[in-house]
Chain A
Amino acid sequence: MLEITPSHYMVLSAALFMIGVIGVMVRRNIIIIFMSIELMLNAVNVNLAAFSQQWQHVTGQVFAIFVIAVAAAEAAVGLGIILAFYRNKETVNIDEMNVMRW
């Protein structure tokens, strides 16, 4: 228990990822759902950094930086879509977002 191994970081990462999944499943507010996705990306980054430390190799950290870049792009485009949708429909509830459903 007192020695911290990569398994500890993997358990933390899995717990954080599951919190993100639960947020996506349970909440109906699309902004909260986006934040849950950011939590999941963070869980992946924790894993990458933990393995980077275990193998004494910085490639994992480089990958984590790429993940952060993709997360920034995703947040910019996703929030733009939310704004455009809100301007048309006056809602952020995903149950009412069905204009693309056939």
Chain B
Amino acid sequence: MGEAIVFYGLSAFILGFAVLVISTRNTVHSVLFLVASFLFVAMLYVLLGAEFLAVIQVLVYAGGIVVLYLFVVMLVNLKRAPETHQDPRRQTRLGVAVAGAVLAEFLAIIVYSSTNPSAPAVLAAGEVIEGGNVEQVGWLLYTNYLIPFELASILLLVAMVGAIVLAQREL
């Protein structure tokens, strides 16, 4: 019951903010809605018992990638005056309503997760990894998936060099 309430609330927020991302005229607002959508996806990961993935989502997506987007949106100057609405209090009321809904969602998640501790993971052939979610993910990353992990780091290095070269004044 509690899980259903949390899941449907989170789904509504994720899909609603995703629709706002692709429907808003102002690009900066679109990026901010994207942050909100990513944060709610991170909460969905907590609901699924993937705490490490939730932290990575907040750090890399909401913290890193979105800042990159904001920088690009501000660098490419889109020469459009921000439209003003007739009723200036309307956005305040809307903001308060959305903030209240988000707070209720947080409380629901806290209540649900405090009553349902996550179960330990079981590897193939009955092998059980002890410890929390971070230890399990780290164990798999450095044993079974060591080569893909190193390839991902090389990919990130290449992307970093490529981005620096592309952003140079004289291409």
Contact = CB atoms under 8 A, between A and B. Distances in A.
A52 B53 CA distance: 11
Contacts of A71: 60-61, 65
Nearest to B5: A2
Interface in B18-40: 18-19, 21-22, 27, 30-31, 34, 37-38
A56 B121 contact: yes
Given A15-B15, A46-B41, A80-B167, A57 B123 contact: yes
A49 to B, nearest CB: 5
A84 B137 CA distance: 38
B90 to A, nearest CB: 24
A42 to B, nearest CB: 5
Given A23-B21, A31-B27, A56-B122, A92 B78 contact: yes
B107 interface: no
B96 interface: no
Interface string B1-12: 101100100010
B4 A83 contact: no
Contact of B11 (A2, A12, A34, A35): A12
Contacts of B129: 58
Contacts of B14: 12, 16
Nearest to A70: B155
B48 A53 contact: yes
B81 interface: no
Contacts of A97: none
Contact of B156 (A9, A15, A72): A72
Interface of B: 1, 3-4, 7, 11, 14-15, 18-19, 21-22, 27, 30-31, 34, 37-38, 41, 44-45, 48-50, 52-53, 56-57, 60-61, 64-65, 68-69, 71-73, 75-76, 78, 119, 121-124, 129, 133, 136-137, 140-141, 144-145, 148, 152, 155-156, 158-160, 162-167, 171
18 contacts: A15-B15, A16-B15, A22-B22, A35-B21, A39-B18, A42-B37, A42-B61, A45-B41, A49-B48, A56-B121, A61-B52, A66-B145, A69-B156, A73-B156, A77-B163, A80-B163, A83-B76, A92-B78
